[in-house]
Structure 1
Amino acid sequence: MNGLIKNAYAVFTVVTLIVACARNPVTGKKQIVLMSEQQEIAMGQQADPEIVATFGLYPDSAIQRFINEKGKQMAAISHRPALNWTFRVLDADVINAFAVPGGYVYFTRGILANMNNEAQFAGVLGHEIGHVTARHTVSQQTRQVLGQIGIIAAVIAKPELAQFAEAASQGLQLMYLKNSRDAESQSDELGVEYSSKVGYDAKEMAKFFQTLDREMAYKSGNQRLPEFLSTHPDPGNRYTTVTNLATQWQTTNNKTNMTINRNSYLRMVNGIVYGEDPRQGYRENNVFYHPELKFQFNTPAGWQYQNTPQQVMLAPTDGAAMLMLSLGKGNTPREAAQNFIQAAKLQVTESRDITVNGLNAYALVGSQMQQDQSGRSVPAVTAIIYFIQYNNVIYQLIGASTPANFSTYAGMLRPYMDSFKALTDASKINVKPERIEVVTVSRNQTLKQLFESYKLPAARFEELAIMNGMQQTDNLTTGMLVKIVVKR
């Protein structure tokens, strides 16, 4: 959470869509869609700043130049070269890549750290460009709107808590749309076609899918963004399918010695931040620390955890409640409270000035109302909200639940909200992130032996093997480059 730049209350956008029949740029066939190309582009233009504000851009000019160069090169030979394509690297540790309509393609630093050559990157790049050129998100949204008129999709936690969740905004929902199996198969085909046309060996994309499968099997817990494979349903045996497609393309076009570029890619990602960047906030022993903004607060044990530049959000596994920290809008706690009440249309039942560990604050309890089936106005969600003034910033801490659960969670959440205070512990402030360090193999040995020679924790050997796209028993030869992880 680096900056805390938006409010917690919901941003709901009503979009008027006009049914139209358009020719698909890839297939050439006519299809029913609910928006024109101009509307599609406008959708991407609206989503892009929300996505950037939510996750931040990774500050590495060399990597950004690389993704721009490769992206523009591939877009030029795609089915929609005239789009104003944009390619970005997000400062997020989750392993994901995605695209939104209008030509916006995003890679996280997490997925870049787990790739092992340019060909793997090119294959995924082609796959994501394929989603845009074939208008998959537009088609998917069309199917959802046509089939679910009047239904609002649920977001973080229970649907009733959507009004307090930033993920309710339309732009961010585009990231979470799952594509159909047919769309995924078509994008795999386009990924092979596009990456092969610019000279890369698309069989490496198939190998990266194996890495993703291993990663998904190895990891557990929750991420800030959906994992690549969770938003890209697996159409059967993907490795075999993509390998066959790549072989067929190379045979048909009489191409051999396709580009892989392992060493150059590894040198490029040398030094990239790996995993959560603690400088932007981290949780340790159920305490959330923010070294840059210098605050801390206690968090419930066992709750799911998300930390983005906009907010810190926690929820139990059943989604029945939520604890969220974000930035208030106002110069004083009372002013921020009034702005929130108006924006969220809260019905306030309690409000008072308080202090939280010596900090001026304002507390309220309120409900957001909705009409039931009989037309009566009833609470939809109830929340305790603190507006705390600290270092000339108003932080708002929200403890929310459905009214039925509020009596259970109200008493439980207050102590966590009361724990907000200044962070002064130098050991918690002066933390360093883990980074990829590319090392040269000095002698013939197995990958496991190399990890042992660098005194890396044995508990992380499998994680690091997956990151390298290898098995621990794989034999290394002198001069090979391998990725390890160090703190610096």
Structure 2
Amino acid sequence: MKTYTFCYRSLAFIALFIASACARNPVTGKRELSLMSTEQELAIGKESHPSVVATMGLYEDKKIQAFMNEKGKAMANVSHRPELPYQFFIVDSPVVNAFAVPGGYVYFTRGILAHFNNEAEFAGVLGHEIGHITAKHAARSQKSQLLSTIALIGGAVLAPQVVGQNIEALQQGLGLLSLKYSRDHESESDKLGVEYSSKIGYDAHQMADFFGTLKRISENSGQAVPQFMSTHPDPGNRFSRVHELAKDYQAQHPASYRVEGDTYLRLIDGITYGEDPKQGFVENGQFYHPELRFQFPVPRGWQSQNSPSQFQMADKDGKSAMILMLAKGNSLDEASQNLVKELSLNVLESTKTTINGNPAYVLISRQQTQQQQGQPQQAQDPKTALQIGTWLIQYNNAIYALHGLSSAADFTNAFGTFKQVAGNFQSLTDPDKLNRKPERIQIKTAPRDGSFREVMIGLGMPASRVEELGVLNGQKADDRIARGKPVKVIAR
């Protein structure tokens, strides 16, 4: 009877909590569970912004920034949450991406800006990102994660012997459910992108065409994933759906919708394209960092990604990876102690050495699993335990941490590659690499009528980059280009 009373009171408390946490969504108009107030959204944005800037850096271009602020303010005014203090930023990354953080923070990479071909494409994606904020997708994702956890715990209470045997499958199933929530959010934001960009006068069909560009980028990178395993709907599916959304909106709201291709191309004339050499670049199997004046090899076939805060590379099968970052500390001893503490490492081996004349430490360690207070340390499964080989290298008044990561089971095979990379960390002295200038987008006019391929070659572009340039311009190699049409080329 006492147990029944306790459960009844607990359920009543949960019901009261859920009822009090319900709020009307500004986009859907429906009442729904919300565990994040507007004040919390603002706090998250304010707290996250410095991390975004530290990780990616800001790209300084007053003309493009002013344009983004102008269009962002106009779109915010017609959105479902015009009262938020929206802020818009360009981050210094070549990756084609845009994202939003709760509280009104919207970010475009210079990579995505280089790939837009008109103001309407820009406006559609800007509306999409503002849509994530107005529809409170961060709060709704938090809700879905909570409900998934409750469902899992509830199952364990009701039938522990069943859940215990199928816990991994249940967690995987709940994970796929979370992915579905994300795809639903993306689709809802696509609809809002059409609505918001149309309200400020742009043709949302151009937003759909940009998804064609994204699909080509995905296919050319070889990183396409099945739609059911992606947090974003397939770009090809979005291309068709957004065209339908734009068609329906324009049928209900007849007007003259703008594209503004030439004005946008003039705006981005000179924007940095691809990796900025001063932040480091990969060429002929080597990573070079001109500003920090060092280099080291990239294993054959490995993929890499660079940012202002770290350089990452990994083999294609995902069994091993390496990360370079600055270590915290004024000496190798201090850096080693900080590293072990911050990453909860169990050091198996440690050695002092030198690498091309630079003092260094080598640490072999495993990351300790979390355990409850008072419980004995459990043995880790070598198939899943993370083993790390770390080279701490003192160079030019800084200490760099070069981590090699793999499962404990694969570490012996991977260690030779890790050691070869770390052992070839050395000073960069080649003037060609030290003085390398970034590539930039330049706007030229087609010198004559012809195919896109003919026009590019006529403008001095190599045949090997025609597909890359086609993606940049939203053109296929055999598409016809009229004489005098502005096009993007790549130059230093």
Smaller-chain TM-score bracket: 0.7 to 0.9
Q: Which residue matches 1:208?
A: 210
Aligned-pair distance for 1:286?
Answer: 2.1
Tell me, what secondary structure is at the counterpart of 2:361? strand
1:375 Cα deviation after fit: 4.7
Give 1:111 deviation, angstroms.
1.1
Q: 1:406 aligns with which of 403, 411, 428?
A: 411
Distance of 1:280 and 1:451 partners within structure 2: 29
**Contact 2:448/2:455 (<8 A) preserved:** no
Residue 441 in 1 paired to residue 471 in 2?
A: no
CA distance in 1, matches of 2:249, 2:405: 54
**What's the offset of the Cα at 1:403?**
2.2
Q: Deviations over 1:5-29 (max 9, x none)?
A: xxxxxxxxxxxxx862111011111
The answer to whether residue 480 in structure 2 is matched with residue 451 in structure 1 is: no
Q: Is residue 436 of structure 2 the alignment partner of residue 431 of structure 1?
A: yes
Q: Does 1:77 align with 2:78?
A: yes
Secondary structure of 2:488's aligned partner: strand
- Secondary structure of 2:96's counterpart equals coil
* Match in the other structure for 1:147: 148
Alignment of 1:157-306 (within 5 A): 180-220=182-222, 231-234=231-234, 237-256=237-256, 258-306=257-305
* Bigger Cα displacement from structure 2, 366-375 vs 402-411: 366-375
- Structure 1 position 178, deviation (Å): 7.6
Point out where structure 1 has 5 or more consecutive residues left out of the alignment: 1-17, 152-175, 223-228
Letter of the structure 2 residue corresponding to residue 270 of structure 1: D
Range with bigger deviation, 365-374 or 457-466:
365-374
Identity of aligned residues (%): 50
Instruction: Sort the Cα spacing of 1:395 and 1:235 in 2 relative to 1 into closer, same or farther, 3 A.
Output: closer
Correspondence 1:7-86 to 2 at 5 A: 20-86=21-87
Count of residue pairs the alignment pairs up: 440
2:107 counterpart letter in structure 1 = Y
Question: Quick one: structure 1 residues 79 and 393, their matched pair in 2 at CA, closer, same or farther if it must change by over 3 Å?
Answer: same
Assess if the C-alpha contact under 8 Å between 1:363 and 1:384 holds in 2. yes
Q: Which has the higher helix share?
A: 2
Query: C-alpha offsets along residues 210-238 of structure 1, whole Å, 9 cap, x if unaligned?
Result: 2222232233369xxxxxx9653138843
Q: How far apart in 2 are the matches of 1:345 and 1:262?
A: 53
Name the CA shift for 1:412/1:119 in 2 (closer, same or farther; >3 Å).
Answer: closer
Q: Note if contact 2:366-2:388 (Cα within 8 Å) is conserved in structure 1.
A: yes
Q: Which residue number in structure 2 is paired with residue 135 of structure 1?
A: 136
Residues 220 and 234 of structure 1, relative CA distance in 2, 3 Å threshold = closer
Partner residue in 1 for 2:167? none
Query: Which AA in structure 2 matches 1:247?
Result: K
Counterpart secondary structure, 1:370: coil
Q: What CA distance in whole angstroms lies between the structure 2 residues aligned with 1:292 and 1:150?
A: 52
User: Which of the pair has more CA radius of gyration?
Assistant: 2
- Residue 298 and residue 237 in structure 1: after superposition, are their counterparts in 2 closer, same or farther (change >3 A)? closer
- The whole-number CA distance in structure 1 between the counterparts of 2:412 and 2:436 is 38
Distance 1:371 1:29 in 2: 40
Cα displacement string for residues 381-415 of structure 1 (whole angstroms, at most 9, x for unaligned residues):
33222221111111111123222222222333222
Q: Structure 1-normalised TM-score?
A: 0.84
Determine the C-alpha separation between the residues in 1 that align with 2:126 and 2:191.
Answer: 12
Partners of 1:177 and 1:56 lie apart in 2 by 29
In the aligned structure 2, how far is the partner of 1:323 from the partner of 1:232? 27
Q: Which moved more, 1:299-308 or 1:68-77?
A: 299-308
Counterpart residue number, 1:320 = 319
The Cα of 1:465 is off from its aligned counterpart by 1.7
- Structure 2 partner of 1:369: 368
Q: How big is the shift at 1:451? A: 0.9
CA RMSD in angstroms comes to 2.6
What residue number does 1:351 align with?
350
1:255 alignment partner AA:
A
Contact 2:322 2:405 in 1 (8 A): yes
CA contact (8 A) 1:447 1:472 kept: yes
- How many Å separate the matches in 2 of 1:189 and 1:234? 15
**Cα gap change, 1:130/1:478 in structure 2, threshold over 3 Å: closer, same or farther?**
same
Letter matched to residue 49 of structure 2: D
* Aligned residues of 1:184 and 1:235 also touching (Cα < 8 A): no
Contact 1:96 1:108 in 2 (8 A): yes
Q: 1:208 is aligned with what amino acid?
A: F
Which 10-residue stretch deviates more, 455-464 or 234-243? 234-243
In the superposition, relative to structure 1, how do residues 250 and 400 fare at CA in structure 2: closer, same or farther (>3 Å)? closer
2: CA distance between counterparts of 1:218 and 1:22?
44
Q: Which residue of 1 aligns with 2:467?
A: 462
Structure 1 residues 179, 442: CA separation in 2 closer, same or farther (over 3 Å shift)?
Answer: farther
* Contact 1:326/1:395, CA 8 A, preserved across alignment: yes
CA distance in 1, matches of 2:360, 2:452: 54
Is the contact between residue 320 and residue 401 of structure 1 (CA under 8 Å) also seen in structure 2? Answer: yes
Are the equivalent residues in 2 in contact too, given 1:369–1:377 (CA < 8 A)?
A: no
| Cα deviation code 1:128-157 (max 9, x no counterpart) | 111110112321232123214699xxxxxx
Partner Cα separation in structure 1 for residue 362 and residue 213 of structure 2: 48
Match of 2:119 in 1: 118
1:209/1:238 contact within 8 Å kept: yes
Distance 1:347 1:446, change over 3 A: closer
Aligned to 1:10: none
Q: Distance in 2 between matches of 1:219 and 1:440?
A: 29
Query: Structure 1: which amino acid aligns with 2:273?
Result: Y
Cα separation, partners in 2 of 1:395 and 1:207, compared to 1, 3 Å: same
- The offset of 1:177, in angstroms, is 7.6
SS of 1:397's equivalent in the other structure is strand
Which string of whole-angstrom CA distances, capped at 9 and with x for unpartnered residues, describes residues 40-67 of structure 1?
A: 2222222222222111111212111111
